[in-house]
Amino acid sequence: MLVFFKRYRMQFDLRNHCFDDLAMPPHFRLLAWKPRLMAAHAEAKFRSFRDELDANVFPCLGDADGCLKLMSDISARRDFVPEATWLIAHSDPERDYLVNCGTVQGIMDGPDLGLIQNIGVVKSYRGLGLGSLILLRSLAGFQEVGAKVVSLEVTVQNYSAIRLYERLGFKTQKIIYKTVEVPSP
């Protein structure tokens, strides 16, 4: 059985946009891409998406191994943009380990257009401004490599994500439909 998910393609114009330095809340760090962070990105991605609508649209997002493979595939692409790929880690002072709580990746589609991939913040860390901060850092990274515009897709029922994108200045460009094959009931 085929299911259609209605999605918005939204765009951010980087031209003439100046990004301020980002101040992270205490105990949170933005980590630039390094191959050794692949599993940390995959973990943050899985924990961000596993209970969300987009895990139906892209089933790999609801599966830990699927997220690892996705990270591996994205980071191996020739058009992968390390500068637009960031991880947020939280060092809880009461624990002696880091929690990987936010992730975003970037790829290029030609010389001018950046594509945001799978931005996610783990549920218990939402509403702290982390989604805004990691997205702004990714946009600044796209600007550093010469992108002029950045595009992303979002499922229309994903209201909190759409509010975030609109607040930061993304504009809806078009409506698209993603087809997913699901087992018949």
Ligand X SMILES: CC(C)(COP(=O)(O)OP(=O)(O)OC[C@H]1O[C@@H](n2cnc3c(N)ncnc32)[C@H](O)[C@@H]1OP(=O)(O)O)[C@@H](O)C(=O)NCCC(=O)NCCS
Which residues contribute to the site for ligand X (CB under 6 A)? 48-49, 52, 54, 119-121, 126-132, 154, 158, 160-161, 163-164
* Shortest distance (Å) from residue 185 CB to ligand X: 25
User: Cα angle at 132 between 169 and 137, to 5 degrees?
Assistant: 90
Instruction: Give dist(CA 115, CA 175) in Å, integer.
Output: 16
- Nearer CB in complex with ligand X: 81/133: 133
- Nearer CB in complex with ligand X: 14/161: 161
Instruction: Give dist(CA 117, CA 126) in Å, integer.
Output: 18
Strand blocks (E) in the chain: 2-13, 28-32, 86-91, 98-109, 113-121, 149-155, 171-181
* Shortest distance (Å) from residue 132 CB to ligand X: 3
* Shortest distance (Å) from residue 172 CB to ligand X: 13
- Nearer CB in complex with ligand X: 35/152: 152
